[in-house]
Structure 1
Amino acid sequence: MSPMSRLTCVRLSCCLALLLAGFTTTVFAQNTDFGKLFLLTEESDTSEPEITITLNPETAQVGDEVTLSITASIPKGSFTYSLENKGGAKPNFRVTDASGLEPVDEEFQTDQEAESSYDALAEKTSLKYFEKVTWTRRYKVTGPQVLLAGKASMPICDAVSCQMFHEPFQFEFEAGESGTADDGAFGSLVTDEEDGAFGSLVAEDGAFGAEVDASEDWGLSEPNRSGSGSMSIKTFPFNWSQEVTVDGKFIAKVSATLKPDESGQTPRVQFTAEMADGWHTYSLDEKYSQKTSFEFTDLHGLKADVSEWKSDKPPETYTAELGKETIEQSVHYKVVTWTKNLERLPEAENVGVELKVALQFCSELACLPQTFKFRLGTLPVAGEQVAADFPASFEDLPPEVRQFIDEIRLNENESIRSISFGMYMIYAFLGGIILNVMPCVLPVLAIKVLSFVKQAGESRSRIVALNIAYSAGVISIFMILATLISLASLAWGGLFQSTTFNMVMVSIIFAMALSLLGVYELPIPGLVGSAHGQQKDGLTGAFLTGVFATVLATPCSGPFLGTTLAWAAQQPIMVTYLTFFMLGLGMASPYLILGAFPQAIKFLPKPGTWMVRVKEISGFILLATVIFILTYVEEKFRVPLMFVLLVLGFSLWMIGQAPATLVSKKTYWMNRVAAISLTVAVAFYSYRSATHVHESELPWRPFNTFTLMEASSEGKTVLIDFTADWCINCKVVENTALNTPATYKLVEEHDIVPLVADYTDGDEEIAFWLDKFESKSIPLTVIFPANRPQNPILIRDLYLQDALLEKLNLAVSLPPEQTAAKADANAQ
């Protein structure tokens, strides 16, 4: 068989394997309960907690307060998480109906502080509760008929696994009379025939966004002089700011300032919102959307006067469509500042405020509700520590903080000025030598040893030239680093703070690892070895190997380096260059010495199969380096980058299957062009998908039964996407069919309500509806026609955009008198 035939057979075999894998995956997906496949909840050994939900008092008069309490008695050896836990599992208290009630507390409060401890499951420090914990939320009775319903979901975890427990609740009474209702699957539904088919519903879940709690800003603690052991006085900056971005795109910047009564002026707080073009926020008097609101959650040495918050310019009118009606909304564009005057209390030494601001930023396509909570000035704070968000400028610090910092002086023997110029040059040289044995450089060091072995048969002049080329590569990178540190104030290892640099570096290291493992042959002689070890070392390869080794060394530090680099950064630019030259010379010195005394190479082992094994082990070490860098790559780029690496590996494998010695020149170049084009196209698409704000993203809202009923009762068509983060086919459907311009246009034209049923962590309610739709797998898309909500249209598994548009057009065109049987026939 000819080489070309062998190559064709290999490619056909790969295609058949991919088709077989796809078929197997589809059959598996259709016959497997995905919840059982990916979740451990049904088989976990975690003991069941006792979850008690009460309303106290059970009856009240209009105007009185009632308290909803959720108590969890946690089994020994288990724990649950705090509501404030950053990422991962945490309790979720969903209030689906609060008729006749108005929340007094914005959030649920706990009866204790969470314990901070390392979480082996999440591999990070988390906030946890043990034994018993109670969450409470107060409500004010505002009507004669009171209904409070919802569901508490709580993860109970041990050292091995987590299990989610759900407890529905419902309380109903007439003001002045007590009463409770029986629990149902999701809380019993109470309908009122006069209000419509589905009764009166109040949904508290928002469609977008989450609260941003910036309350723990950087502050200075003072001793507590009030006698309370749990309070301390802390001083915060008088200025606060935060940017709002979506996938790296600037949406708005908000800032706040507390202006004390200096120079006889009235003390006041100012809050400013600066918005990008095409975005707006709502005024204090908006009637139809979430209006801007301010709430002082704490005032110290101040009190609010009778005046209202005032904007620096009147709002503008924005015309919008609400269903079939046209409404006029009150909005602000570009920049707006609200001001609230305060009064200083007599004999108040220090002043401060804690402010909560709720507002919404909207464009033509989407709205982003935001909540900000922050502190300005001096306030009493519970606890001993406050997290540090250090201001961008030293001048923004309070005067007492600046004085505290200015008074700090290093002992003479601790200062970097206590060491002479000559000693720093020696330190730099020694630090460079030590870099050769740092973990970051070990894979390259092993390859360099193999290079010396191959040089044993070379002439002395050739050996010297190769090692000088390697040293030149090392020193050139150190000179570039000296320039960056002098002109751009870049720290040692600062290159790895750049996501773009990390992605490029990961790709290069991955490609070199595959070469060492024999997947393909590097075309540059001597560049970190080759797949088969048959190439002779070249000057270009030796130079690039030096470059590669030095770049890999920058995340590592060692003895002498820290002090030397801190001193060099404060010196004139020529001294900085000299210091880094000595670092490079130190790192290159072992190879220069071997080049000057080539007879030393004779003491190395003779070439043999051990060289291949060393290269292969070095390849695996480089793959470990890839994994290490991936751990600190920005999260939104991590999965796209791994996909790029997969395609890069396939492309390099293609190149390795068509070497110049086995195929024609035409085939050789076609192979390379196809491989490079595939990699570049995938890399471009992956980067764009990670950074691009999806303008065709449907305005998804979280799915629950009450939201579905409410939308249907309003005569709207509802589109539900049953999905999960671990479902690859779901992501394909969302990107190719659901979140597309054509679908977005149709949804907008017909006022279709899109809901997302997220099954990532399992959900009792979503599982109930999947069973209702006779489905054991996802993706599943369900359409409830406006005029026939009792007979939904289902689209199972993978599908194309045309199929979705056809079913959506069918749903919005069905007349009220359409029968279910006839509609089913059309749907088929």
Structure 2
Amino acid sequence: MTRDKRLAHYRLILAITLPVLALANLDAFASEPADAIEIARQDQEHSSLRIQPARLDGMPGLVFLFFGTDDLHYYAKSETAPAADLKLTIVVVSDVLRFAPPIFPKWRIFRDPTGAGVEVYAGDFTVFVPIASASEDAATALVDITVRGITCTSQVCLPPFDVETRVNIDYAAADTWPAVTIESPAPEGTPGEGKPPMVNAGPDYSLAFALLLALIAGLTLNVMPCVWPVLPLIVMRIVQQAKDTRGRSFTLGLAFCAGILLFFAALAGLNIILQVFYGTVMGWGDPFRSPTVITGLVILLVFLAMAMFGLVNVALPSAIAGAGGAGAGYFGSVGMGFLAAVLSTPCGFGILAAAFGWAQTQHWSIATVVILTIGIGMAVPYAILISVPGLLSRLPRPGRWMELVKQAIGFTLLFIAAKFLLGLSDHRRDGVLYFCVLMAVALWMWGSWVDFNTPRSRKFAVRLPAVILVGVCAWAFLPARAEMIDWQPWDAARIDNARTWRQPVLIDFTADWCLNCVVVDKRVYSDPAVADLIQAKNVLPIRADTTENDYPATIALKEVYQEPGTLPVNMLFAPGADEPVRWRGTNFKDELIKALDAL
């Protein structure tokens, strides 16, 4: 082959392969601009970011253009992120520009394989950070940007990221910046609004396997600690029913099983309403994301534990107890079954969550069948007991062992309550803990200071103060107090960076054992005037945890800031100041307001 022919041959090969390669990478070139910053990548899932000046409804600012695949997502709320400080956070700082808080778009609901719903940003979305004000010499501005958070796919979570970059913007040309649009944030507590929910397909179960799993999950509910306090009442009721005629005993037992199924039918009905009318589903873990639900469960578990210790007797209403004739007996059996199902669900995890989660990824008709199967599984042991009366004779006879078992159950319930308590944020947890301790005191007064033979007047004199104590404690400790300041955890590098770029920094040194720190939080940082000034002056608020000696904040308090370690201590670094303004003690709110106002 001559040289000219070889060159012609090579040109032909290049002419064929280059267009093919270009087409194969066309999407990559289109979706990844040259100035994009890659945030995360996992196999085929990825997300990148581009930052540029823009205008939103006439407001100048910076637009953050995220683009990537739909399965890789960022977390929109601290409550549902893997950790409170891992939601998507954008911090923008400049010497000559002051930025307002970021405007995020509507989040989507992402459902993991267990059915739990979390608020996320995924795929292509836009965040806008408005410029609130500018100094007179702000023709050009150097802007430092930090984007932090964590990304996850439906399979794994990647390591937390902390991306720092710097952009130079021509503020004098702000009028010529391109206009952008952004969806307004989704209203709190309205998961059905915004973009259609993202529902993960979940585990690849067959329907037969899912039904078997649901049946086993229902069976396990009978051994959940939360249902133990009513098991003696249930067994006594079944024993009493066995003394009736064969037909009546059987029908009363069926009524009890019907009560269990009624509860799960109600859950299935709620799930149908959510799917058909609101375009979302009910995850088994969703109620446990509500601080109100967790608080109620902790209080209920502590109350039942006190009942197991004998401080108070649990007396059911006569209809549920079965008094009052045949009609009341059937109604009472249904009520007892319903109550047993209600009490079992707070402790239902593991297999139950897997079965319920799979059901939420299916059509509502299949989900209904699976949920009802869970109820059937819970009712099966009672159905067997009433069908084979001879089994009742094999139940252990009452004795001292029953009292010891009850007390052991009480400690188990307290352990479960403590686990639930850890799910609350710090400012809620303390109040619920104080209330539960004082509620236990009130229950002790109610059940131990008087007995059945105590005169009515003395009972009233003892139990009325107990009721008042519970009411006052509920008013004092249980109301939810929203955090008015977006406190950030201790981060020495972040503090130094903020001071370098002349951003004010407020540090609140605190500890779990510091009671006066709680006073500072209520007297100072719960004041709207203080919170508004911190936001208006673009102050970086740092809450420094010094609970233990080896914590970084504790070491810095003593070695860097030369404080003896006595709390509370609060410091405010003004821009350009070498030393902070320091306050020790609890009464410094007015001085803090003046210092913030002077920034």
TM-score of the pair, normalised by structure 1:
0.41
Q: 1:220 to 1:683 in 2, by over 3 A?
A: same
1:460 to 244, 261, 282: 244
Deviation at 1:220, TM superposition (A): 1.9
Alpha-carbon separation, structure 1, partners of 2:364 and 2:520: 59
| 1:799 to 2:579 alignment | no
Q: CA deviation at 1:508?
A: 2.6
The 5-angstrom pairing of residues 387-406 of structure 1 reads none
1:474 maps to amino acid = I
Residues 1:780 and 2:569 aligned together: yes
Q: 1:416 aligns with which of 176, 194, 206?
A: 206
Q: Which amino acid aligns with 1:778?
A: L
Cα distance in 2 for residues equivalent to 1:744 and 1:555: 40
Counterpart in the other structure of 2:96: none
Once the two structures are superposed, residues 397-453 of structure 1 have per-residue CA deviations (whole angstroms, 9 ceiling, x without a partner) of xxxxxxxx9xxxx9xxx9737x6xxxx8xx958953663346862552585256425
- 1:592 paired with 2:383, answer yes
Judged with a 3 Å threshold, the aligned counterparts in structure 2 of structure 1 residues 393 and 481 are, in CA distance, closer, same or farther, namely: closer
SS in 1 for 2:127: strand
Q: Cα deviations across residues 729-760 of structure 1 (Å, max 9, x unaligned)?
A: 33432432356346568999999999877646
Match of 1:679 in 2: 474
Q: 1:514 aligns with which of 306, 310, 314?
A: 306
Q: What is the CA distance between 1:479 and its match in structure 2?
A: 0.8
Matched residue, 1:237? 69
2:527 to 726, 733, 740: 740
From 557, 566, 572, give the equivalent of 2:351: 557
Instruction: Tell me the equivalent position of 2:127.
Output: 273
Counterpart-to-counterpart distance in 2, 1:433 and 1:720: 52
1:514-546: CA deviation from partner (whole Å, max 9, x where unpaired): 3223343334369999xxxxxx99658724532
Aligned match of 2:436 = 648
Match of 1:548 among 342, 347, 350: 342
Mapped contact 2:283–2:360 kept (Cα < 8 A): no
Equivalent residue, structure 1, for 2:264: 478
Match of 2:53 in 1: none
Answering whether residue 9 of structure 2 is matched by residue 215 of structure 1, we say no
- In structure 2, the partner of 1:607 is 398
Residue by residue over 1:51-73, the C-alpha shift from the partner in whole angstroms, topping out at 9 and shown as x without a partner, is xxxxxxxxxxxxxxxxxxxxxxx
Alpha-carbon distance between aligned partners in 2 of 1:750 and 1:487, rounded to the nearest angstrom: 46
Pair 565,600 (structure 1): closer, same or farther in 2 beyond 3 Å: same
Q: 2:36 aligned with 1:253, yes or no? A: no
Rounded Cα–Cα distance in structure 2 between residues aligned with 1:718 and 1:294: 16
Q: Over residues 284-340 of structure 1, what are the superposed CA-to-partner deviations in whole Å (9 max), with x where a residue is unaligned?
A: x95587648799xxxxxxxxxxxx9999x9747xxxxxxxxxxxxx99999479xxx
Correspondences of 1:630-779 after superposition (within 5 Å): 633=423, 637=425, 640-641=428-429, 643-659=431-447, 661=452, 662=454, 663-665=458-460, 668-669=463-464, 671-685=466-480, 688-689=481-482, 692-694=483-485, 721-724=508-511, 727-737=514-524, 740-741=527-528, 759=546, 761-762=551-552, 764-768=555-559, 771=562, 775-779=564-568
Secondary structure of 1:616's counterpart equals helix
Q: Would the alpha carbon gap of residues 334 and 646 (structure 1) be closer, same or farther in structure 2, given more than 3 Å must change?
A: farther
Instruction: Name which of 426, 430, 435 aligns with 2:218.
Output: 435
Identity %: 18
Q: Which amino acid aligns with 1:618?
A: I
The aligned amino acid for 2:304 is M
Instruction: Give the whole-Å Cα distance in 1 for the aligned partners of 2:478 and 2:239.
Output: 41
Q: What's the offset of the Cα at 1:499?
A: 3.0
Deviation of residue 684 (structure 1)? Answer: 1.5
Q: Point out the more displaced range, 647-656 or 745-754.
A: 745-754
Q: What is the one-letter code of the residue matched to 1:516? A: M
Cα deviation for residue 623 of structure 1 reads: 2.8
Letter in 1 for 2:244: R
Indicate the SS of the match to 1:216. strand
Report the CA distance between 1:604 and its aligned residue: 1.8
Separation of aligned partners in 1, 2:341 and 2:519: 40
Larger Rg: 1
CA distance in 2 between counterparts of 1:755 and 1:516 reads 44
- 1:603 offset after TM fit, Å? 2.4
Counterpart Cα distance in 2 of 1:290 and 1:793: 28
Q: Distance in 2 between matches of 1:754 and 1:442?
A: 42
Mapped contact 1:594–1:600 kept (Cα < 8 A) = yes
SS of 1:594's equivalent in the other structure is helix
Aligned-partner residue type, residue 471 of structure 2: I
Equivalent residues in 2 for 1:140-155, closer than 5 Å: none
Contact 2:263–2:341 (CA under 8 A) maintained in structure 1: yes
Is the contact made by 1:506 and 1:626 (CA closer than 8 Å) also made in structure 2? yes
Contact 1:727 1:779 in 2 (8 A): yes
Q: Do structure 1's residue 620 and structure 2's residue 403 form an aligned pair?
A: no
The aligned residue for residue 30 of structure 2 is none
> Shift of residue 585 of structure 1?
3.2
Residue 236 of structure 1: CA displacement?
A: 5.4
CA deviation after TM superposition for structure 1 residue 781, in Å: 4.7
Shift of residue 591, structure 1, vs aligned partner: 1.7
Alpha-carbon distance in 2 for matches of 1:467, 1:653: 38
Q: Which residue of 2 aligns with 1:60?
A: none
Q: Report Cα offsets for 1:706-736 as digits up to 9, x if no partner.
A: 999999xx9x999875444664433432432
Q: CA deviation at 1:599?
A: 5.3
Q: Is the 8 A contact 2:311 2:444 kept in 1?
A: yes
SS in 1 for 2:411: helix
Check the 8 A contact 1:722/1:778 in 2, yes or no: yes
2:333 and 2:376 map into 1 onto residues whose CA distance is 18
Q: Tell me, yes or no, if the aligned pair for 1:702 and 1:755 is still in contact at 8 Å.
A: no
Secondary structure of the corresponding residue to residue 252 of structure 1:
coil
Please tell me the residue identity of whatever aligns with 2:44: L
More helix by share: 2
Which is bigger in relative contact order (C-alpha 8 A, separation at least 6)? 2
Aligned-residue CA RMSD (Å): 6.3
Tell me, yes or no, if the aligned pair for 2:571 and 2:583 is still in contact at 8 Å. Answer: yes
* Offset of residue 647 of structure 1: 0.8
Partner AA of 2:524 in structure 1:
A
* Unmatched runs of 5 consecutive residues or more in structure 2: 1-36, 47-66, 81-86, 88-100, 107-123, 148-166, 184-195, 276-280, 322-328
Residue type at the aligned position of 1:237:
T
| Partner deviation per Cα, 1:678-716 (whole Å, 9 max, x = no partner) | 22542223xx33xx4339x89x997999999999xx9x9
Change (3 A) 1:549 1:705: closer
Quote the offset at 1:799 in angstroms.
3.0
Q: Which residue number in structure 2 is paired with residue 351 of structure 1?
A: none
Q: Deviations over 1:145-196 (max 9, x none)?
A: xxxxxxxxxxxxxxxxxxxxxxxxxxxxxxxxxxxxxxxxxxxxxxxxxxxx
